[in-house]
Amino acid sequence: MEKKISVPSAPLNVLVIDDEKSIRDGCRQAAEGLGFKTHVAENAGNAYKSLESQSIDVVLLDMKLPGSTSGQEMLKDIRSRYPNVVVIVMTGYATVPAAVQAMRSGAYDYLSKPFNLEELRLTLERAASHFNLTTENRVLRTKLRSKEGFGNMIGRSPQMEKLYRFISKAANSQHPVLILGESGTGKELVARSIHFNGPQKDKPFIPVDCGSLVPTLIESELFGHIKGAFTGANQSKEGLLALADGGTVFLDEIGELPSDLQAKLLRAIQEKEIRPVGSTRRVPIDARILAATNRDLDVAVQNGSFRRDLYFRLNVLALRVPPLRERKQDIPVLAGHFLDRIERTGNIRRTLSDEALHRMLDYDWPGNVRELENCLERACAMNSGPVIHVIDLGTSLQSPRSASPQPGNGFGTLADLEKNAIFAALQHTHGDKLQAAELLGIGKTTLYRKLKEYGPQF
Ligand SMILES: Nc1ncnc2c1ncn2[C@@H]1O[C@H](COP(=O)(O)OP(=O)(O)OP(=O)(O)O)[C@@H](O)[C@H]1O
Ligand SMILES: [Mg+2]
């Protein structure tokens, strides 16, 4: 169930480096048959000329080169000077240890001579898809580090651009705004952006969580109370709506507001004054009201749990913050933003492995941006290394496309279990395949074969 990466329309450039003409010709024919643009070199000197003058993507490198530069040296050199080039080494039949060493030095794959056309074809195809995958991730990763968004809001998807335009307009009006959206999409951040981009930005922004306070407390918080208004009211207290004083009151989870307070809030908005609990005196207010909810207020109005008149009052301007799954292109830049922030708190600089990033792009994020933020915080807390792998991402992201499960029995196939065990062992040994094979109780050739079967990333 590997993610298929679309192959770009421009053909990839393959360089075949071998002193044997028959190998050069055979490889050239096979590569051209697959749609690659092919270059050949019979020695290291010519190979370097091609690498310098052509934009080579994949190299087929014979480990036994004539002249003073060995295949192993050339491999290391290519890896350090052209790190994006995918190298496949070709070794003699009896030189598996050389192949293993080449893989350790950064070769992507190896072919043992003599190989047949089918082997060559499969290997080249895998290398191409690996190249495309890493290129795609490189593009995503450059985006990852650039600060993109609007104020504190990150994301440049068309949906977010639309949201920013709305925020700019709303910031300059005085009407109430109703902010709708699933949990964790950034509703509070939107409310803050509306306030801090408007003319009242130097006045207070006061968030009130209507969902977490007990009703009597919300009332006294919003409207204030006088001394002795209820048990424990030892001093009079000004209501937040009055304290806002030209600023903004953000009523979070407005859908949870009890109905008597809904009536009182409506009156406060309409008449621009409030009456503190226990008082007969009315206090003028000058507060802009922003409200947010993840509930469907239309339904709440229909079933009578939310007042229609208040709904219309609050709903003068309404916006919906899109869920993350509808703007997946924002995932890399959001992830970069959170990783930067974690790094600033004294930890090491971290990046996502290609596969981890792809898994994150595949996932549906029911908890939206907050879930992404938590996921990365946890991954960084669990992992002391610089690269975050799939295994660090938490169980819901462990299996591909976990948010839209394939019909099945919930166990996964035996092959999946085996693959997971192999990845866990490699993770444990920090990529040391020989040690991993020992841990798993399988031969190292079996492990190499399996990894080859799993495809490009491994
Ligand atoms: N576009 C964004 N850019 C950067 N951070 C974001 C963005 N959207 C959300 N976040 C972050 O995600 C977390 C959740 O955002 P926020 O609290 O605004 O969501 P919410 O919609 O109010 O959620 P809830 O409905 O659960 O209250 C916060 O830490 C916030 O800073
Ligand atoms: Mg919130």
What tens digit of pLDDT does each residue of 111-127 get? 988 888 889 999 999 89
Closest CA to 76 of 106, 110, 40: 106
Q: The tokens 């941006």 sit on which residue?
A: 369
Rounded mean pLDDT of 221-245? Answer: 90
Indicate the pLDDT class of residue 456, thresholds 50, 70 and 90: low
Considering only 89-98, 211-220, 340-349, 411-420, which range has the smallest mean pLDDT?
411-420
Q: What is the pLDDT of residues 37-96, one digit of tens each?
A: 999 999 999 999 999 988 899 999 999 888 888 899 999 999 988 888 999 999 876 667
Q: Of residues 28 and 213, which shows the higher confidence score?
A: 28
SS3 of residue 304 by DSSP: coil
Average of per-residue pLDDT values in the chain: 85
Task: Report the nearest atom of ligand 1 relative to the CA of 294.
Answer: 25
Indicate the pLDDT class of residue 309, thresholds 50, 70 and 90: very high
The tokens of 229 are what? 């208004």
Of these ranges, 6-10, 92-96, 284-288, 426-430, the one predicted with the greatest mean pLDDT is 284-288
pLDDT score, position 401: 56
**Which distant-in-sequence residues (6+ apart) come within 8 Å of 437 by Cβ?**
443, 444, 446, 447
pLDDT score, position 407: 41
The tokens of 224 are what? 């204030």
Contact yes or no for 317/304 (Cβ under 8 A): no
pLDDT score, position 65: 85
Percent of the chain surpassing pLDDT 90: 50
Rounded mean pLDDT of 410-421? Answer: 65
For strands 153-154 and 149-150, give the pairing: antiparallel
Q: How many angstroms is it from 322 CA to the middle of ligand 1?
A: 12
Q: What is the pLDDT of residues 156-194, one digit of tens each?
A: 899 999 999 899 889 988 999 999 999 999 999 999 999
* Number of the ligand closest to the Cα of 208: 2
Rounded mean pLDDT of 375-401? Answer: 84
Q: Of residues 407 and 258, which shows the higher confidence score?
A: 258
Indicate the pLDDT class of residue 8, thresholds 50, 70 and 90: very low
CB atoms within 10 A of CB 166: 17
Question: Closest Cα to atom 25, ligand 1: which residue?
Answer: 183
Task: Report the nearest atom of ligand 1 relative to the CA of 191.
Answer: 18
pLDDT score, position 230: 85
Q: How many angstroms is it from 137 CA to the middle of ligand 2?
A: 32
Considering only 12-16, 201-205, 290-294, 319-323, which range has the smallest mean pLDDT?
201-205
Cis peptide before 114 (omega within 30 of 0): yes
Question: How far is Cα 99 from Cα 182, in angstroms, rounded to an integer?
Answer: 52
Considering only 25-29, 40-44, 213-217, which range has the smallest mean pLDDT?
213-217
Contact yes or no for 48/67 (Cβ under 8 A): no
Q: What CA–CA distances, in Å, run from 299 to 179, 255, 264, 306, 308? A: 16, 11, 21, 9, 11
The tokens of 35 are what? 């749609």
Q: How many angstroms is it from 336 CA to the middle of ligand 1?
A: 15
Residue 405 confidence (pLDDT) above 50: no
Residue 421 confidence (pLDDT) above 90: no
How would you class 11 by CB atoms within 10 Å of its CB: exposed for 0-12, middle for 13-18, buried for 19 or more?
A: middle
Task: Report the nearest atom of ligand 1 relative to the CA of 337.
Answer: 4
Residue 412 confidence (pLDDT) above 70: no
Closest CA to 343 of 210, 182, 144, 188: 144
Binding pocket residue ranges, ligand 1, CB within 6 Å? 153-155, 181, 183-189, 294, 334, 337, 369-370, 373
Considering only 150-154, 205-209, 279-283, which range has the smallest mean pLDDT?
150-154
Q: How many angstroms is it from 186 CA to the middle of ligand 2?
A: 7
CB atoms within 10 A of CB 10: 9
Indicate the pLDDT class of residue 212, thresholds 50, 70 and 90: confident
Q: How many angstroms is it from 327 CA to the middle of ligand 2?
A: 19
pLDDT score, position 272: 94
Considering only 26-35, 65-74, 86-95, 287-296, which range has the smallest mean pLDDT?
86-95
* Number of the ligand closest to the Cα of 333: 1
